[in-house]
């Protein structure tokens, strides 16, 4: 199912451009304060693949996020083949620049900045500045001031996903 602007959102403060498009919105969760600019496409998987976005994330214009990808080696036309689905996690206070593509299975840690036109695949630690296709770490963002650290709970190293795990388990 595809429709505009019907993702599950938090308590409030989410702004979504009327030209943004959500596919499988029942598997998309946006935290409070998320801003989705014009032309963005959030494409969750048809069966399982979810897109989880932390609080105050900012999507520049024409960002594409997909939690699904067609298989292509099963000896049939691509569109007759199954899809592989993997959750996408986008952390709190992440800024995705204009025209970014985020591929299935990616995890972008809290506080990351993603350069315009980047293609993101893989896991990136909190407060990274990443850019390019494929996106690589090109810098580090200064972590937030001390009184915000406790709120964000992302500074300590952890093998677990650091992006809105509470949302993921209830999503
Ligand atoms: C990612 C960004 C914030 C980085 O800004 P910055 O910290 O000043 O980084 P720099 O310009 O010093 O670039 C650092 C390196 O990353 C590279 N880089 C930066 N942005 C890039 C991009 N979008 N794609 C590819 N590489 C990029 C630079 O070429 C540079 O590489 P080098 O060290 O080999 O020369 C900025 O380049 C950007 O893309 N901003 C998004 C703007 C936008 O989309 N605005 C509208 C949306 S609201």
The domain locations on the chain are: 6-167
Ligand 1 atom with the smallest distance to the CA of 98 is: 44
pTM equals 0.85
Q: 48 preceded by cis ω (within 30°)?
A: no
**141/28 Cα distance (integer angstroms):** 27
Q: What is the mean pLDDT of residues 70-94?
A: 95
Assess whether pLDDT exceeds 80 at residue 89.
yes
CATH of domain 6-167: 2.160.10.10
Assess whether pLDDT exceeds 80 at residue 69.
yes
DSSP annotation of 142: P
Ligand 1 in reach of 164 Cβ (< 6 A): no
Confidence at residue 160, expressed as pLDDT on a 0 to 100 scale = 45
* Contact (CB, 8 A) for 54 and 88: no
% residues pLDDT > 90 (the chain)? 75
Assess whether pLDDT exceeds 60 at residue 16.
yes
How many angstroms separate the alpha carbon of residue 26 from the centre of ligand 1?
A: 33
pLDDT in tens, 95-127: 999 999 999 999 999 999 999 999 999 999 999
Q: With 0-12 CB in 10 A as exposed, 13-18 as middle and 19+ as buried, what is 21?
A: middle
Q: Label residue 150 by pLDDT band (50, 70, 90).
A: low
Please give the mean pLDDT across all residues of the chain.
85
Q: Label residue 13 by pLDDT band (50, 70, 90).
A: confident
Helix (H) or strand (E) holding 152: helix 146-152
Ligand 1 in reach of 117 Cβ (< 6 A): yes
Ligand 1 in reach of 139 Cβ (< 6 A): yes
Assess whether pLDDT exceeds 70 at residue 48.
yes
Ligand 1 in reach of 60 Cβ (< 6 A): yes
Residue located nearest, by CA, to atom 1 of ligand 1: 115
Rg (C-alpha) for the chain, rounded Å, is: 15
**60/153 Cα distance (integer angstroms):** 25
Q: Label residue 54 by pLDDT band (50, 70, 90).
A: very high
More confident residue, 18 or 151: 18
């Amino acid at each position: 199912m595809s429709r505009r602007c019907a993702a599950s959102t938090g308590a409030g403060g989410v702004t979504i451009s009327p030209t943004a498009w959500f596919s499988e919105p029942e598997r998309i969760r946006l935290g409070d304060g998320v801003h989705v600019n014009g032309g963005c496409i959030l494409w969750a998987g048809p069966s399982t693949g979810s897109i989880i976005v932390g609080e105050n994330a900012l999507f520049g214009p024409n960002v594409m996020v997909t939690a699904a990808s067609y298989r292509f080696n099963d000896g049939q036309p691509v569109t007759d083949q199954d899809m592989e689905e993997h959750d996408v996690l986008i952390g709190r206070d992440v800024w995705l620049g204009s025209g970014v593509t985020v591929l299935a299975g990616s995890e972008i840690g809290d506080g990351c900045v993603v350069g315009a036109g980047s293609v993101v695949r893989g896991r990136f630690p909190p407060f990274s500045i990443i850019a390019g296709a494929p996106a690589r770490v090109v810098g580090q963002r200064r972590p937030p001031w001390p009184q915000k650290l406790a709120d964000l709970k992302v500074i300590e190293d952890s093998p677990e996903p650091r992006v809105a795990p509470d949302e993921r388990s209830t999503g």
